[in-house]
Amino acid sequence: MAFKVGLLGLGTVGTGTVEILLNPEQRHPLLQEIAIYKVGVRSPDKPRAVKLDPDLLTTDLESIVTDPTVDIVVEVIGGLEPARSLILQAIAHGKHVVTANKAVIARYGEEIFEAANQAGVYVSIEAAVAGGIPVIQPLKQSLSVNRIHTIMGIVNGTTNYILTRMQQEGGDFADILADAQALGYAEADPTADVDGYDAADKIAILASLAFGGRIKLPEVYCEGIRSVSAADIAYADRLGFVIKLLAIARRESAYNPNDTTDHLQVRVHPTLLPKAHPLASVNDVYNAILVEGDPVGQVMLFGRGAGSGPTASAVVSDVQNIVAILKTCSTAPSVVSTNADSEPHALMACTHQHYCTITPIEQLETRFYVRFLTHDSPGVIGKLGTCFGDHEVSLESVVQIGMRDQLAEIVVVTHTVNEGNFRTALAEVKAFPSIHSIPSVLRVW
Ligand code: HSE
């Protein structure tokens, strides 16, 4: 008897999911026990890349999530609604859920996982972060015996593609974005990618798993790549860095058994990364996640973060894991909600109860890169140095290489400083008559 999947959505990821499930040869034998039972679509008559029995298609998505025959609902329609409501309805009807929807999980994770725990069903989200890279399951299982102190990564392929091309071609952001859109590498509305929101959703989910607590998405500091210019990439290169959009979550202090409160930094921003850093050579649309824990040390996961096949690989692996569990706890696979009375699988369920405390960005200790355009008058560099010094901002290097638009271009890199002190100093510097403008302020790893 096969386990029945109700698939919501037959777009890019849904199509990849069907392709794997319809072609189980040379894959894990469990796939042969999974059947596509119904597929919810908007336009049943649309030509499709996969051959499916037309009787499986329906426009009534609610009928899938409420159908007693369905064991597992796979949600790959994306967007907040109706995805969130359909997931909750599926849970209420005792279905296990597999979703690729990072936006829903990052915003409504508490509501969804609490409903799932009460109903005794699983909600699996491997495909929600970094597409084909297995990172959710490693964090929940293989790496979970470690005390994780940092998880950081390149989790947005669109921005990594744009930054890589800016680096390789010396082009400016707007031109390369337009070209990426024409080539289909960037969405017509690129906001979620280029302004960092997609990466913020993903790091909120990863931080929650790595640090065992919930994350309030509005507390995740988020800055995108629109302000990164060709000039910054060229200066970074001379100074020994590349610029990457990093999503970072770190525990603030060493483990203290007397204070187990988690104080975390969770942030997304363009970052100057030393060329020797393991993430610095992750280019184009590729994603990578670096986990640092005790005692495992550094573990880096690399691969394709989006696309039909890679994301479907994650979706189907979640379906398969649920099927493997169902096989051990029931001989009647269509009756899945009966495990509401038993303990959930400790490594599959989400049982976080508390919210992590996120440190405000003003309290961050980091290095900065700043590019100033100044009027070329004597004493400018001295005044800059004095003002930063007055606010305990120690400078690592000050470079003046040339002129831009008849203005002197000065690039400053600080030592590790308090972000609040740095911002206060910068506000004072900005008011100096000799300062024309401050085109870029970036953090340095
Ligand atoms: N838009 C995302 C990216 C893929 O560019 O990586 C889906 O999360």
| Mutational pocket test of ligand 1: of 77, 125, 126, 158, the residue with most ligand atoms within 8 Å of the beta carbon | 158
- The pair of three-digit structure tokens given for residue 168, joined into one six-digit string: 């390789």
Q: Tell me which residues have their CB closer than 6 angstroms to ligand 1.
A: 156-158, 193, 198, 305-306
pLDDT 10s digits, 29-50:
999 999 999 999 999 999 999 9
Closest C-alpha residue for ligand 1 atom 7: 306
Domain with CATH 3.30.360.10 in the chain: 136-304
Domain with CATH 3.40.50.720 in the chain: 3-132+308-335
Q: Closest ligand 1 atom to the C-alpha of 187? A: 1
- The pair of three-digit structure tokens given for residue 381, joined into one six-digit string: 């560099």
- In which band, very low, low, confident or very high, does the pLDDT at 338 lie, cut at 50, 70 and 90? very low
Question: Which whole number is the average pLDDT over 23-31?
Answer: 97
pLDDT 10s digits, 156-189:
999 999 999 999 999 999 999 999 999 999 999 9
Contact (Cβ atoms closer than 8 angstroms) between residue 9 and residue 43: no
Q: Cis peptide leading into 295, omega within 30 of 0?
A: yes
Cβ atoms within 10 Å of 71's Cβ, excluding its own:
27
Question: Which whole number is the average pLDDT over 246-273?
Answer: 87
282 Cα to the center of ligand 1, angstroms = 15
Q: Closest ligand 1 atom to the C-alpha of 157? A: 6
In this predicted structure, which of 135-149, 222-236, 255-269, 402-416 has the lowest mean pLDDT?
A: 255-269
Domain with CATH 3.30.70.260 in the chain: 363-444
Q: What is the mean pLDDT of the chain?
A: 94
The span from the CA of 315 to the CA of 308, in Å, is 10
3-132+308-335 folds as: Rossmann fold (3.40.50)
| Mutational pocket test of ligand 1: of 156, 191, 286, the residue with most ligand atoms within 8 Å of the beta carbon | 156
Q: Closest ligand 1 atom to the C-alpha of 161? A: 5
Superfamily of domain 363-444: ACT domain (3.30.70.260)
107 Cα to the center of ligand 1, angstroms = 17
pLDDT 10s digits, 67-93:
999 999 999 999 999 999 999 999 999
- The pair of three-digit structure tokens given for residue 84, joined into one six-digit string: 């969130």
The catalytic site residues sit at 202
> For domain 136-304, which architecture applies?
2-Layer Sandwich (3.30)
306 Cα to the center of ligand 1, angstroms = 6
